[in-house]
Structure 1
Amino acid sequence: MKKNVSKIILFMALSFVLIISGCSNKTGNEAEKNKDGLTELTLFSADPHTQWDNMESSVSKVVKEKTGVTLNPEFDVNGGTQKIALMIASGEYPDLVAPKGEAGKLVDAGALIDLTDLIEEHAPNLKKIYGEYMNRLKWGNDDQSIYILPTSAVDTEYFKPSHGVGLQHAVVKELGYPEIDTLKDFESAIKEYKEKVPEVNGQSTIGLSLLADDWRIMISTTNPAFWSTGVSDDGEYYIDPETYEAIFHYKRPEEREYFRWLNHMNDEGLLDPESFVQKYDQYLAKLSSGRVLGIIDDDWEFDEAQRALREQGQQERMYGLYPATLEADMKHANFQSTGYLAGWGVGITTDCEDPVAAIKFLDYLASDEGQILQNWGIEGEHYTIEDGKRVISDEEMNKRNNNANYVKETGTGVLKGFAPAYGDGVVDSNGQTYTIASPQQIKDAYTDVEKEVLSNYGVEMWKELYPQEDEFPVKPWGVSFNIQVPGDSELVLIEQKVLDIVKKRIPEAILAKPSDFDKLYDNFLKEIDEAGAKEAEKMRTDLIKERVELWNN
């Protein structure tokens, strides 16, 4: 009896929190036509959306006109875990949900509908865009249902690097364009320039700044340990390409040496002492000031600072990305192919009163018309047709490249994260790429300083500095981190425990005296094993092997 009372109390508490937190503005059972006669679909996204246009931009108005649907979304800033748990506790869901890695919990709760028949009957464009990858949409070997429509781009050809060490153009120009092949090269360039230029814009020059604000510690502090040692991204794991055995990547001896190098950078006074305490906005402000010479980060995380520097006329203080590795014989695997990444995406819940309208809405976004609208905008407003081809004027392209709110103001790309999309390099029936990301367009968007730097390195694009895609095998499991975990598994809980330890112990090891580094690192590895790392590794290995089997069927 006490157990049942406890469950009732917990449910009431979660329900109350759900109500006051506004998990969704309207449940599926309340779905109805709005005042404009449109079907309003509620949506929950586990990701934030800084460019949301409230469906009021010119592009979104066209979408509403074409589909008869408008979205009423909620965007989470904390990854969605808590909100999705509250949904499950209450049994009430929005019409659409983009849960990232939490879909397993929703499936176990019976919250997502099988989309197989809906796709077959109402979604020819979804079938077309997924094409040969339809098999990857199946939930698992034992459950062949389709609960999630993956939203990763299909058949993307990557034209620019996302990962590497970032070095200001001013640094390489001053030093005569030295080769930046290893971390030692990167360190030497920072040190030499910092000694020559102790102040920038009236402030003390900072050598290398990292970011460790909550989950962002993985992007700027810990993920570079595998990028810089010749391995591509599998989240918190390294996956043996032959056996598919998973281990937490921190256990690799090469990565210990990467963190030892950061410890050395700190000991040399080249590491920003605020690296592990600064918040994201402080980090961006610091980069935007122009005084941080080097960073190790993903391009999307410091893109706002790049735009700010560009807008301020500080083009020489912007960053180039270089494939520096710990040792010269290691290959930076930025361009290793994962194949098509099914796993994360959008699902339709059991509370959706009109799943046909929902699937047709998503199908429109996947259509050629929807893809061109989301990428290029509206003919006559954002581009023109010349000799049968779409053409963007120099004035409009300048807005695209330099207006930080271009997406929100025009609506181009606002909805791309909620439906599958063709990737960069894929061409339509007209012979043009769906996206605005051809090599020439990328080169045209470079600043004059970038072009000068690249020319002095004997290339035209940043990608050319990196090992190319054909130098690596395709990963048959895609990536580990987007494999959906069963809702009743202990894996997520153990992984969170390990990550909590990582957030504390890795900065400690980096900031320690060099003589204490190995002792601290050994204790760190012991601590994560005590938290269940070995058990998690076995569970993750099983998931990897199951995915390979599913995708090979």
Structure 2
Amino acid sequence: MKKSLSLLTVGVMLTLSLSACSGSNTAAPAASNAPGSTAAAADDNKPVTFTYYRFGAGKNINTNETPIGKELEKQTGVNFKVETLVGESKTKSGVMIAGNEFPDVISPEGEIDKFMDAGVFIALDDLIEKYGPNIKRVYGPYFNKMKQKDGKIHHLPYSANQGFIANPNVDQGAFWIQRGVLKEMGYPQIKTLDEYFDVIKKYKEKHPQVDGKDTIGFSVLTYDTNFFTITNPAFHLAGYPNDGGLLIDMKTREAKTVAIDEATTKRWVKKLNEVNAAGLFDKESFTMNKDQYLAKLTSGRVLGYFAYDWQVGDARNNLAKAGIDDKRYMPLPIVFDKGIKDQYLDPPSFVNNRGIGITKSAKDPVRIIKFWDNMLKEENQILVQWGIKGQTYEVDDNGMFYRTDEQIAKIKDPKFYEDFGLKEFAYSWPRYGNSSVVKGNNAYDPSKQPVVAEKNFTEGDKALLKAYNAKVFTDLFSKPDDRPWYPAWSINKGQGTPEQIFEQKMSDLQKKAYPEMILSAPDKFEKAWSDYSSQASKLDIKGYEAFVTKIVQARASGDWSK
């Protein structure tokens, strides 16, 4: 699954007579807090706690329990009680909508169309115009991309780039392999899928067990909304970025789904069938939850996996903290055949169907929008990413940010990272894009600051990079080609539309068919594929492709209104 437009100027005044809890799709603060009133001035920094539900994994927390959140509360009086997803996202969103009572703020992730269609989020245009100078500064160039079907803005995306700095580390999708495998095999050049699994097979034959448990050749996370992790490699292997299960022609801008494409999906799934027959595939890939998956990666038993880096951050951090370099993983830009140019690294993009919105149940939309606007001041964007000067970063004589060895060690500690607030504010809030530049020529994301990246490299990192003649890990990957529509997966489908129904039915079919195709005996694969392909062909593939093609072509020409 799962980035020079004019500013939107809105001159409509807030309708003060409406209650913020009335269910209206426009923001309406109570009259006692009318702009310019004495009550509004007096209450501007009065302590208040808003509720925030996030459709993602994490820890339930009050933001003011962290130093970063405490500083933001000091500036605004605002604290957020954050609750994160437990169970399945579709079930939770359905229960919320049926009850018609909501927290003040929701980050709905993949359920966003459902919440939009149910009219859960208020329009933000008037609030932004009146109280959001920093929101306009940061998001203004993207306003046309943020409008919904009614022509209004209902949520703030998590990312709006302010300049660009490349990442020295791979933070997107890749085929990952355990470093000890590469070391023992003499640091082989691995480019193709066959080469990747051949190396894993040879190593597993030498080391069938780890700490008394069977070594796992290859594992994939498919739990809940993560099923794309096993379907997406098909297009990556063919040299395409993550456009959401689609191959988009660079010249014609025509979209083609890979769902039953024999050159990509069939080839990928058949390879997994062979890998399973060879005893290399983790059969629990279709049954384990995310915590179980991350525990496996941390255990050192898994030799290889495909994932997007943001899916496995906890495992990566725990392995780094353990200091056993051979059990950590190296990202590789694997393709089907030599000669295919990999496109794992994301091109510059704007994702407009993920973000944070104020619900119609919110008790004070004005205070919330003011908090977000304050949060988008550059000094606060530095705060939520770098932390507090003297505690988690320093500034040299040239104004460049850096971290001492002691500070880097603190940041690497998952507990400190979470307790300080750096984990809480790393995503899921109004923010600059990860590739942004702040205060001179500093990277917004500390991991992209060269001096920090170099200090973070362990001796094992340096040895690995030297063995592959690279200065940073992204040197191993091809530079992304420009795709002005990217990413196509962010196209809003809407609940109940033919396109949304197509995606849901295809997803349901794949969740049933992939285990059958991959875990079947090799002589049963062709029939399993034929059955899947036949059922998928009954869905309106052509109609779906035509829909996406039309919007991709419009986006490529600068029109993001659809």
Normalized against structure 2, the TM-score is what? 0.84
Alignment partner, residue 69 of structure 2? 60
Cα offsets for 1:144-182 (capped at 9, x unmatched) = 211121112525533322222211111111111110111
Moved more, 338-347 or 385-394: 385-394
Alignment partner, residue 3 of structure 1? none
The answer to whether the 8 A contact 2:55-2:85 is kept is yes
The answer to whether the 8 A contact 2:175-2:307 is kept is yes
The verdict on how the C-alpha distance between 1:48 and 1:116 changes in structure 2, with shifts beyond 3 A counting, is same
Alignment partner, residue 459 of structure 1? 470
Alignment partner, residue 39 of structure 1? 48
Secondary structure in structure 2 of the residue aligned to 1:132: helix
CA shift, 1:78, in A, is 4.8
Alignment partner, residue 444 of structure 1? 455
CA shift, 1:191, in A, is 2.1
Alignment partner, residue 493 of structure 1? 501
The separation in 1 between residues aligned to 2:232 and 2:203, in whole angstroms, is 26
The separation in 2 between residues aligned to 1:539 and 1:226, in whole angstroms, is 20
Cα offsets for 1:463-492 (capped at 9, x unmatched) = 0011112xx1x2232223222222442433
The separation in 1 between residues aligned to 2:312 and 2:290, in whole angstroms, is 10
The separation in 2 between residues aligned to 1:85 and 1:541, in whole angstroms, is 30
Moved more, 113-122 or 489-498: 489-498
The verdict on how the C-alpha distance between 1:478 and 1:532 changes in structure 2, with shifts beyond 3 A counting, is same
The answer to whether the 8 A contact 2:105-2:362 is kept is yes
The separation in 1 between residues aligned to 2:169 and 2:160, in whole angstroms, is 15
The answer to whether the 8 A contact 2:236-2:342 is kept is yes
Aligned: 1:200 with 2:215:
no
The separation in 1 between residues aligned to 2:242 and 2:117, in whole angstroms, is 28
The answer to whether the 8 A contact 1:425-1:435 is kept is yes
Moved more, 376-385 or 72-81: 72-81
Secondary structure in structure 2 of the residue aligned to 1:166: strand
User: Which of 297, 306, 310 in structure 2 is aligned with 1:296?
Assistant: 306
- Given residue 160 of structure 1, which amino acid in structure 2 is its aligned partner? N
The answer to whether the 8 A contact 2:131-2:370 is kept is yes
CA shift, 1:204, in A, is 3.4
Aligned: 1:261 with 2:271:
yes
The verdict on how the C-alpha distance between 1:481 and 1:52 changes in structure 2, with shifts beyond 3 A counting, is farther
Alignment partner, residue 126 of structure 1? 135
Alignment partner, residue 524 of structure 2? 516
User: Which of 154, 161, 164 in structure 2 is aligned with 1:147?
Assistant: 154
User: Which of 110, 117, 125 in structure 2 is aligned with 1:116?
Assistant: 125
CA shift, 1:53, in A, is 5.0
Secondary structure in structure 2 of the residue aligned to 1:415: helix
Cα offsets for 1:435-457 (capped at 9, x unmatched) = 21223322321221121111011
The separation in 2 between residues aligned to 1:245 and 1:425, in whole angstroms, is 28
The separation in 2 between residues aligned to 1:538 and 1:214, in whole angstroms, is 28
The answer to whether the 8 A contact 1:149-1:420 is kept is yes
Secondary structure in structure 2 of the residue aligned to 1:397: helix
| RMSD (Å), alpha carbons | 2.9
Alignment partner, residue 17 of structure 2? none
CA shift, 1:366, in A, is 1.2
Alignment partner, residue 25 of structure 1? none
Moved more, 341-350 or 458-467: 341-350
CA shift, 1:551, in A, is 3.2
Identity of aligned residues (%): 32
Structure 2 gap segments, 5+ residues each: 1-28, 34-41
Alignment partner, residue 223 of structure 1? 232
The separation in 2 between residues aligned to 1:50 and 1:449, in whole angstroms, is 31
The answer to whether the 8 A contact 2:402-2:451 is kept is no
Cα offsets for 1:181-237 (capped at 9, x unmatched) = 111211221122223333333433332233333333321x22112212211112243
The verdict on how the C-alpha distance between 1:506 and 1:338 changes in structure 2, with shifts beyond 3 A counting, is farther
Normalized against structure 1, the TM-score is what? 0.85
The answer to whether the 8 A contact 1:96-1:349 is kept is yes
- Counting only pairs closer than 5 Å after superposition, residues 10-25 of structure 1 correspond to structure 2 as none
Alignment partner, residue 84 of structure 2? 75
Alignment partner, residue 284 of structure 2? 274
The verdict on how the C-alpha distance between 1:47 and 1:550 changes in structure 2, with shifts beyond 3 A counting, is farther
The answer to whether the 8 A contact 2:391-2:407 is kept is no
The separation in 1 between residues aligned to 2:318 and 2:83, in whole angstroms, is 28
